[in-house]
C-alpha cells in the first residue's frame, strides 16, 4: 500500500474515533440522572438592636439600627483546624447565603455586610448591619402610661423562601442597655422571638418575628401636663372653701370662668404635644373630665346664687359647704374610675 494512502486511512480512523467518543459522551449526558435538589436549610436568625432612632406616633413606624445574624450548618464546609487559634475560616462572598428581608419595612432597608465565616463543625455565620424604618400598629389608649410592642419580621426573599426554614436563634436577643438622648422617654424592656408562616406561601414558608417591648416614661407628661391640669381644677373649688364674705358670687363666678378659659388655652397648647389618634386616649379623657368639672363648678356657683336670691342666705351657705366637699370627692372617684378603665379594661 502506498505511504500516502496509509496516512490518509490513519487520519480517517482518528477522525472516526473522535466522532464516536463525542456522540457517546452526548448520549451519556442525556441518560445520566439529574442530581436531586438539596433539601431545605434550617437557618437560625438572631437580632441585636443597637439603637432605637425614633418612634413616629403619627405615621406609626419606628427607626432602628442593629445586626441581623443568620446561622446554618453546611457539612461540605467542615475543616480541620491547623492550630488552636483557627476557630473560624472566612468564606468568599460567592458562597450561598440566605437572602433575608424585613417584611414590615416602611422603606427599603439599608443592609451592609459585616462578617461571613464558617466554624470547624460546618456552622456558617452570616452577619449584616441594618438601618431600617419599620411599620407597626401603636396602641396609645393608655398614653402616657403605655407600652408598645415593636415588631421586626424577618423573611427569606426570592427563591430562598422555599429553600430555607427560618427559626429563632437559640441565643437570647440583645437590646440596648442605656437610654439614648433622642428617645429618653422610651425604655427598652425585652426582645422576644416567634416563628410564623408567610402569608400566601404555597410551601408554608416560615418567618421569624421579633417583638421589642418598650415602655414610655410618663414623668415628663405628669409634671408638665397632668399635675398643672389637676391644679387648675382645684383652683375652681377654692372659692367654696373660703369665707363667703370675702368671695361673693361675682368673684366666685369670675374665678371659675377664668379657670375654664385657662384650661381651654392649655388644651390648645397641649394638642401639639399629644398624639393625634382617631380614638380616645387616657390623657384625652382626663382633659375632658377636667373641663366638665370646671363647667359643673360654674353651674353650682350659679345655682347657689339663685338659692340665695329665691330662698335664704343660710341655705345658700349650706349648699356652698356641701359643694366644697362633693365636687372634689366626685372628681377623685371619676379619676380613679377613668384610670382603671383605661389601664385594666382598655
DSSP 194-209: EEEE-TT-TT--EEEE
| 93 pLDDT more than 80 | yes
Please classify residue 135 by burial: count the beta carbons closer than 10 Å to its beta carbon, then call 0-12 exposed, 13-18 middle and 19+ buried.
middle
Helix (H) / strand (E) element for 58: namely: none
pLDDT above 90 as % of the chain = 35
CB of 240 closer than 8 Å to CB of 299: no
Q: What are phi and psi of 61, to 5 degrees?
A: -145, 170
pLDDT digits (tens, 9 = 90+) for 287-300: 889 889 988 888 88
Backbone angles phi, psi at 154, to 5 degrees: -105, 130
Burial of 15 (0-12, 13-18, 19+ CB in 10 A): exposed
Domains of the chain: 41-217 (2.70.170.10), 220-345 (1.20.58.390)
User: In the predicted model, what is the mean pLDDT of residues 48-65?
Assistant: 89
Determine how many CB atoms are found less than 10 A away from the CB of residue 136.
20
Q: Going along 29-180, which residue ranges are E strands?
A: 41-56, 61-73, 89-90, 100-102, 110-118, 123-135, 147-156, 164-168
Give the torsion sign (CA, 136, 140, 143, 145): negative
Please say if the pLDDT value at position 332 is more than 80: yes
Question: Is the pLDDT reported for residue 346 higher than 60?
Answer: no
Output the nine-digit C-alpha cell for 202.
404555597
pLDDT of residue 121: 92
The b-or-e profile of 1-12 (16+ CB within 10 A means b, else e) is eeeeeeeeeeee
Grid cell locating 165: 426554614
Across residues 80-91, what is the average pLDDT?
82
Over residues 119-147, the mean pLDDT reads: 93
CA pseudo-torsion sign 83, 87, 92, 97: positive
The pLDDT of 274-302, averaged and rounded, is: 86
| pLDDT more than 70, % of the chain | 80
Q: What is the mean pLDDT of residues 317-340?
A: 91
Mean pLDDT of 111-138: 94
| φ/ψ of residue 221, rounded to 5 | -80, -30
Of the CA atoms within 13 Å of residue 260, those in its CB half-sphere come to 15
Q: What is the per-residue pLDDT for 221?
A: 87
Q: What pLDDT band is residue 307 in, cutting at 50, 70 and 90?
A: confident
Write down the pLDDT at residue 97. 92
Parallel, antiparallel or unpaired: strands 164-168 and 110-118: unpaired
Whether 251 shows a pLDDT value over 90: the answer reads no
Cα–Cα distance between 252 and 319 in angstroms, integer? Answer: 14
Beta strand extents in 121-250 (DSSP E only): 123-135, 147-156, 164-168, 186-197, 206-216
Indicate if the pLDDT at residue 145 is higher than 70: yes
* pLDDT for the residue numbered 13: 63
d(CA 3, CA 12): 14
pLDDT tens profile 312-327: 778 888 888 898 899 9
Cell numbers 500500500: residue: 1
Nearest Cα to Cα of residue 140 among 217, 57, 64, 218: 57
CA dihedral 219, 192, 104, 69 (to 10 degrees): 120
Residue 273 has pLDDT above 60, yes or no: yes
Q: What mean pLDDT is reported for the chain?
A: 81
* 179 has a pLDDT exceeding 80: no
Amino acid at each position: 500500500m502506498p505511504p500516502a494512502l496509509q496516512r490518509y486511512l490513519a487520519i480517517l480512523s482518528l477522525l472516526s474515533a473522535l466522532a464516536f467518543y463525542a456522540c457517546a459522551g452526548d448520549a451519556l449526558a442525556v441518560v445520566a440522572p439529574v442530581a436531586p435538589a438539596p433539601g431545605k436549610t434550617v437557618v437560625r436568625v438572631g437580632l441585636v438592636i443597637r439603637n432605637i432612632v425614633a418612634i413616629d406616633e403619627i405615621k406609626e413606624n419606628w427607626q432602628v439600627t442593629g445586626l441581623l445574624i443568620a446561622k446554618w450548618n453546611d457539612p461540605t464546609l467542615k475543616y480541620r483546624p491547623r492550630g488552636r487559634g483557627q476557630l473560624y475560616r472566612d468564606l468568599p462572598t460567592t458562597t450561598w447565603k440566605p437572602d433575608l428581608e424585613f417584611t414590615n419595612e416602611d422603606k427599603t432597608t439599608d443592609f451592609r455586610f459585616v462578617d461571613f465565616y464558617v466554624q470547624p463543625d460546618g456552622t456558617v455565620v452570616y452577619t449584616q448591619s441594618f438601618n431600617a424604618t419599620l411599620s407597626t400598629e401603636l396602641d396609645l389608649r393608655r398614653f402616657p402610661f403605655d407600652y408598645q410592642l415593636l415588631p421586626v419580621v424577618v423573611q427569606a426573599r426570592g427563591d430562598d423562601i422555599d429553600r430555607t426554614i427560618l427559626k429563632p436563634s437559640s441565643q437570647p436577643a440583645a437590646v440596648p442597655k442605656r437610654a439614648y438622648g433622642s428617645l429618653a422617654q422610651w425604655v427598652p424592656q425585652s426582645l422576644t422571638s416567634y416563628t410564623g408562616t408567610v402569608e400566601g406561601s404555597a410551601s408554608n414558608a416560615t418567618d421569624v418575628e421579633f417583638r421589642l417591648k418598650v415602655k414610655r416614661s410618663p414623668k415628663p407628661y405628669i409634671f408638665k401636663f397632668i399635675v398643672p391640669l389637676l391644679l387648675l381644677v382645684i383652683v375652681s373649688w377654692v372659692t367654696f372653701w373660703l369665707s363667703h364674705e370675702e368671695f361673693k358670687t361675682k368673684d366666685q363666678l369670675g374665678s371659675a370662668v377664668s379657670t375654664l378659659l385657662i384650661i381651654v388655652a392649655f388644651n390648645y397648647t397641649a394638642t401639639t404635644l399629644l398624639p393625634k389618634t382617631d380614638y380616645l386616649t387616657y390623657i384625652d379623657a382626663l382633659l375632658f373630665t377636667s373641663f366638665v368639672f370646671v363647667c359643673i363648678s360654674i353651674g353650682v356657683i350659679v345655682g347657689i346664687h339663685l338659692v340665695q336670691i329665691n330662698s335664704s342666705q343660710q341655705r345658700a351657705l349650706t349648699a356652698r359647704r356641701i359643694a366644697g366637699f362633693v365636687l372634689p370627692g366626685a372628681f377623685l372617684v371619676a379619676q380613679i374610675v377613668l384610670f382603671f378603665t383605661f389601664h385594666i379594661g382598655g
